Structure 1
Amino acid sequence: MRVSVVLPAKNEAEGLARTLPQLREQWPDAEVIVVDDGSTDDTVGVAAANGARVLSSPYSMGNGAAIKRGARAATGDVIVFMDADGQHSAAHVGLLLDKLAEGYDMVVGARDSSGQANLHRGFANALYNRLASWMTGHAILDLTSGFRAARAEKFREFLHLLPNGFSYPTTSTMAFFRSAYPVAYVPIPVAKRIGTNSHIRPIKDGIRFLLIIFKIATLYSPLKLFAPAGLTFFLIGLGYYGFTFFTQHRLTNMSVLLFSASVIIFLIGLVSEQITGLTYLGARAPQDET
């Protein structure tokens, strides 16, 4: 089983200087690919000096775009994705591969609380995990971890779904679950990031939080989100109708509006469910039939 290691990197010369020698020492036969996402530091030079295959972009396309470029270029049967900022250790790659050998198609390194960038990010990730676990019916320990190993052929089936920006871990995880490809989690410690840490951006991060919530729902089963929302509007309309009937003896426009909204939301969820099912037709089924 040939292994390819893909590291998306933007201005991560310092992190690569620590990560790449460890990879070469512990996994000398692995193909190491560094995808330079328009770096302005010596990322390319450090990667080349440590024997990595370098794919360079003339400008920054985003973390997800780097992942897609690396996955297309990888020649291994298994692709290991890890961050280039020094948080992930080459010593833990074996844990992912050992679990993968048990019959899983993707194995994710689940971070502990020390691996979260800050308190509010940790809280948001905990909510992501709970929502995704409810949507899939499986325990998801870390939905946004960038340290994972996947069978290359299966991972490439979903490249068209991956965003060019962040949240590729969310998209790929939900896609694997939706296509009935088994996913496992392995607890791993995470080192402190080398370089500048992310800062709290309440508005931008809040919007990103909501977008990821909707992405989780639409990637797996939209009806699980839209049906409860439609039911909520229906119950509010029913309660308001009951109130106005006993106080004013009439059906108000607001009650009709709430009833109509509940039907529209449910129908949108139903249509979205069908569209989501068509999205995964690209996941080939011959393996399931044999």
Structure 2
Amino acid sequence: MASPVKVSVVIPAHNESERISDTIKGIQRIPEVSEIIVVDDASTDETANLAEQSGATVIRLTPNMGKGGALNEGITKVTGDIVALLDGDLGSSSSEARALIIPILNNSADMTIAQFPRARKKGGFGLVKNLARAGIRYFTGLESNAPLSGQRAMTRQVLETVTPFASGYGVEVALTIKVARAGFRVLEVPTQMSHSETGRDLKGFMHRGKQFVHVARVLTGCLIKYGLK
């Protein structure tokens, strides 16, 4: 009899003490998941301790390495045949990650990406998302509705093919382009996930400004690597 497929979850987290416990508990309700690794990216709150108390394996980083760096550390420890990448602020909606895992178990996709419901409050003006969508379309031909979604699941083969992850907020765009150009099947999956939303305030605009710069940097790198069509 073949051994069961093992599913690992990696959560990069920085100062997510308000939601990390609920995020882990939500994942623990997914029957297929057997390993949860939280990469605490130099948090200054109780994120690491709360994650450990909730039953996750915790990797503590010093200094802060950013999302891409945290993910690169986390994947060195995973043992699963399928690996899901989830944010630490999903809270109980993290249980929706099962919708990302099932298509991979059923061999109908090699990487899945979560689509979120419409945001409850106004955020930016779509500049970052539109740039990311245009870049993915240009380099892969894919039409992406969730180009910036960090909630993903993939096979071990995909993971080993596309790593290391890009640094900063461009990690998701770079990942989609790498996966699609390698010939793997990408599927976006509607979910009811929710997380902390940034609004139209100074903090929100600063965050989206960094996103725009990082995504543009990734796409510039793709131009250098792949050239113009």
1:214 alignment counterpart: 220
2:45 pairs, out of 30, 41, 55, with 41
More helix by share: 1
Shift of 1:84: 0.1
Q: Which residue of 2 aligns with 1:172?
A: 175
Q: Superposition pairs for residues 228-247 of structure 1, below 5 Å? A: none
2:13 and 2:47 in contact (8 A); partners too: yes
SS of residue paired to 2:18: helix
User: Which of 143, 146, 152 is the matching residue for 2:150?
Assistant: 146
Match of 1:103? 108
Superposition RMSD on alpha carbons, in Å? 2.7
Task: Say if 2:169 and 2:214, in contact at 8 Å, map to a contact too.
Answer: no
Q: How does 1:67-216 map to 2 (within 5 A)?
A: 67-86=71-90, 89-100=93-104, 101-114=106-119, 118-120=123-125, 122-160=126-164, 162-193=165-196, 198-201=203-206, 204=210, 207-216=213-222
Separation in 2, partners of 1:42, 1:170: 30
Contact 2:8 2:82 in 1 (8 A): yes
Q: Which has the higher strand share?
A: 2
TM-score of the superposed pair, with normalisation by structure 1: 0.68
Cα distance 1:175–1:215, how it changes in 2: closer, same or farther (>3 A)?
Answer: same
Q: Runs of 4+ in structure 1 displaced over 4 angstroms?
A: 194-198, 202-206
Task: Give the whole-Å Cα distance in 2 for the aligned partners of 1:29 and 1:86.
Answer: 16
Between the two structures, name the one with larger relative contact order (CA 8 Å, sep ≥ 6): 2
User: Does 1:12 find its partner at 2:43?
Assistant: no
Instruction: Summarize the Cα distance change of 1:181–1:20 in structure 2 as closer, same or farther, 3 Å threshold.
Output: same
User: Unaligned stretches of 5+ in structure 2?
Assistant: none
Q: CA deviation at 1:144?
A: 1.5
Q: Give the structure with higher Rg (CA).
A: 1
Change (3 A) 1:60 1:50: same
Q: Matched residues, percent identical?
A: 25
- Shift of the 165–173 alpha-carbon distance from structure 1 to 2, 3 Å rule, reads same
Tell me the distance in 2 between the aligned counterparts of 1:39 and 1:66. Answer: 12
TM-score, length-scaled by structure 2: 0.84
